[in-house]
Structure 1
Amino acid sequence: EKRISELNNLKSDYPNLADKIFPISADANDYLRNFCQGDWRFKRAIVFLDPYGMQVKWNTIEAIAKTQAIDLWILFPLGVAVNRLLRKDGKISEPVKQRLDEMFGTQDWFEAFFKEKERRSLFDIQRGFEKTANLDSIAEYFNKRLESVFAGVARNPLKLHNSKNNPLYLLCFAIGNPNPKAKGLALKLANHILQMR
């Protein structure tokens, strides 16, 4: 509620835009999936998703892509959440697995990020898993997931670092419009923006 009142103050800060400012208090996933329903043939939009952690669910991303009219900029929680949750031994709690499943929209992330490992002792063989993923492979995996639902995806997502140079987020771009000219232009612009450092 406090945040909504702060956002409502934007109307007085920008009186010439007041009729276009609509702060909404709702779950962003629910709101966006509802927003994406309907006729998008004569409309275009850009959505910028700046989630807190892993709050954006894959079915929200799919709903955006399905419109074929919305372009997406998303801050993927590369180092701030995903990489930290992928334990080196592959022992990930069920609630965390479920959150990763919802964020990636599939369970095959586990096979992409871990390999089976055997440890032999004097008396037996112990089977387990070992993390093979690094920040680059996680970034590539997420970008490929975007490619599976969008008409086009910028190939050079931008890693955003903190003051100690640790990667926190990955800024990704995806275009919904399958028109070759629109796709080409949007990707050219996005790639240019993503190369600016």
Structure 2
Amino acid sequence: MEHAFGGPWTEDKLRRVDKYLEAYMTIFTRNETASKLGTYYLDAFAGTGRIASAVAEDRVEGSLFEDALEDDDTNYLKEGSAYVALRQENQFDNYVFIDRSREHAASLDRLRHEFPDLADRITIEVADANDFLQKWCRNTNWKSNRAVVFLDPYGMQVDWATIEAIARTKAVDLWLLFPLGQAVNRLLTRKRLPEAAHAERLTRMFGTESWREAFYRTPEKESDALMLFDNEEAVLEKQANFDSIGAFFVKRLKTIFPGVAEKPLPLKNSTNVPLYLLCFAAANPVGAPTAVKIANHILKP
């Protein structure tokens, strides 16, 4: 069974990440100092390695936290991010593919047969992405290794603690799909703060509760009447839009990474609604300026 998810924006995303991997490995192949370092490519939501796009239908398979709307007008097989990374001319020393589904992991294992020369470099983990990544970031020797990490969740699975762990390595370049319209905007209810479970999930993803002040305001016409309410949350109204939510997340990234692409790429569905932002951040202070320069070029609409 192939992994059904995505649309034309999925191809756009993979094409841009593909370009970055090519540029990244060109540097690590040609630069004498960089060539002495070990290299990793890690995909934390690898799926099956290939993707069968979904039919044109909006539906939710599970919660907004765990799954995303499938949005596509076509139905054909295309290469996934794992396959894209493995086909690079200049090869990484290590490939780590993570998925919580054993069925997906079994499909990923077939890539060893498609790329026999790389079979001994491929590690496939059935694991929770947040748990695995945080341990991997702590336990890898970053004095002698560098990595590109691709976080391509279906919904809001990525915790801020995981992003912080990546930043602390001072050695990882991060590509991340931020679920802008797919999940975050939908959880930000219009007339009051999100319910407790939704609010907690937003805090886990942003790593702060300051999204409340950033995205909600007291309506001016009601400001004088606040004293009449025991629960001020009842009179808060959403002030956020796609632009302000994206800007807030970029600002959060800049608090922990030395280099962040200022203008993530909106990935939109067939009705021009932004589903995700393709974001980039570099953890290595020395390499960050070059990495961000390359990423900025690749992220241009």
TM-score relative to the length of structure 1: 0.93
Task: State the alpha-carbon separation in 1 of the partners of residues 115 and 136 from structure 2.
Answer: 25
Match of 2:299 in 1: 194
One-letter amino acid of the structure 1 residue matched with residue 294 of structure 2: L
Match of 1:6 in 2: 107
Q: How many residues align?
A: 193
Give the conservation status (yes or no) of the 8 Å contact 1:71–1:174: yes
Task: State the alpha-carbon separation in 1 of the partners of residues 190 and 149 from structure 2.
Answer: 34
RMSD: 1.8
Give the conservation status (yes or no) of the 8 Å contact 2:151–2:175: yes
Q: Secondary structure at the match of 1:72?
A: strand
Selected match of 2:245 from 124, 138, 151: 138
Deviation at 1:42, TM superposition (A): 2.1
What stretches of structure 1 move > 3 A for 4+ residues in a row?
124-127
Q: Secondary structure at the match of 2:124?
A: coil
Q: Select the structure with the greater relative contact order (CA < 8 A; seq sep ≥ 6).
A: 1
Match of 1:60 in 2: 162
Task: State the alpha-carbon separation in 2 of the partners of residues 191 and 90 from structure 1.
Answer: 36
Give the conservation status (yes or no) of the 8 Å contact 2:193–2:216: no
Task: State the alpha-carbon separation in 2 of the partners of residues 149 and 183 from structure 1.
Answer: 13
Task: State the alpha-carbon separation in 2 of the partners of residues 13 and 178 from structure 1.
Answer: 36
Match of 2:265 in 1: 158
Match of 2:135 in 1: 34
Deviation at 1:64, TM superposition (A): 0.2
Task: State the alpha-carbon separation in 1 of the partners of residues 250 and 271 from structure 2.
Answer: 25
Give the conservation status (yes or no) of the 8 Å contact 1:119–1:125: no
Deviation at 1:89, TM superposition (A): 0.7
Deviation at 1:125, TM superposition (A): 5.5
Deviation at 1:52, TM superposition (A): 1.9
User: Mind listing any 5+ residue stretches in structure 1 that lack a counterpart?
Assistant: none
One-letter amino acid of the structure 1 residue matched with residue 160 of structure 2: W
The 5-angstrom pairing of residues 28-177 of structure 1 reads 28-38=129-139, 39-117=141-219, 118-119=221-222, 128-177=235-284
Task: State the alpha-carbon separation in 1 of the partners of residues 121 and 144 from structure 2.
Answer: 19
One-letter amino acid of the structure 1 residue matched with residue 277 of structure 2: L
Q: Choose 126-135 or 108-117, whichever is displaced more.
A: 126-135
Q: Secondary structure at the match of 1:52?
A: coil
Give the conservation status (yes or no) of the 8 Å contact 2:130–2:162: yes
Deviation at 1:17, TM superposition (A): 1.1
Task: State the alpha-carbon separation in 1 of the partners of residues 262 and 222 from structure 2.
Answer: 38
Deviation at 1:22, TM superposition (A): 1.4
Deviation at 1:91, TM superposition (A): 3.4
Deviation at 1:60, TM superposition (A): 0.2
Deviation at 1:119, TM superposition (A): 3.5
User: Mind listing any 5+ residue stretches in structure 2 that lack a counterpart?
Assistant: 1-101
Residue identity over aligned pairs, in percent, reads 51
